[in-house]
Amino acid sequence: MASKEIKIGDKAPEFTLRSMDGGDISLKDYVGKNTVVLYFYPKDHTPGCTKEACEFRDNFRKFNSKDAVILGVSLDGQVSHRKFIQKHDLPFPLLSDEDAKVSTVYGVYKEKKLYGRTFWGIVRTTFVIGPNGRILAIYPKVKVEGHVEEVLASL
């Protein structure tokens, strides 16, 4: 499933994904109400992803004060997400994109190389989506260090 490249100003692709508690969360739930920080990350319980999630956690109140909600998306299932949330006391939902459909539409599911091995996975990327449903900022190929502060500054 090919997707056109998403650019700042575009309408964010609508999605509905299963959250860690079994309920569905849709982008349309926030349109007209909140800015959405939609961050795609490769895998629960890995060092970089844990650091990124904990930095979002540690700044959660700052995002809240700007009427921004944080939604994390990976290919992991609900059980993995629940354990990740409990272990690190994450106050925001993690969404399961097990079939990579949403990650593909957002253009973050790509072929990657690591230690000479080629595989498909999520390239760490963050989208800031305004209350009007339009893309306000895109952070591709995120380096975890300083990323959360950069996103906060853009709000």
**Does residue 131 lie in a domain region?**
yes
Q: 65 exposed, middle or buried (CB, 10 Å; 0-12, 13-18, 19+)?
A: exposed
Residue range(s) defining the domain that contains residue 46: 16-154
- Beta pairing class for 35-40 and 68-74: parallel
Q: Global pTM?
A: 0.92
**Does residue 107 lie in a domain region?**
yes
**Does residue 127 lie in a domain region?**
yes
CATH number, domain of 138, equals 3.40.30.10
**Does residue 79 lie in a domain region?**
yes
Query: Is 49 one of the catalytic residues?
Result: yes
**Does residue 3 lie in a domain region?**
no
Query: pLDDT per position in the chain (155 positions), as tens?
Result: 445 689 999 999 999 999 988 899 999 999 999 999 999 999 998 988 989 999 999 999 999 999 999 999 999 999 999 999 999 999 999 999 999 999 999 999 998 887 888 989 999 999 999 999 999 999 998 888 888 999 999 99
Catalytic site residue from 6, 38, 49, 102: 49
CB atoms within 10 A of CB 26: 11
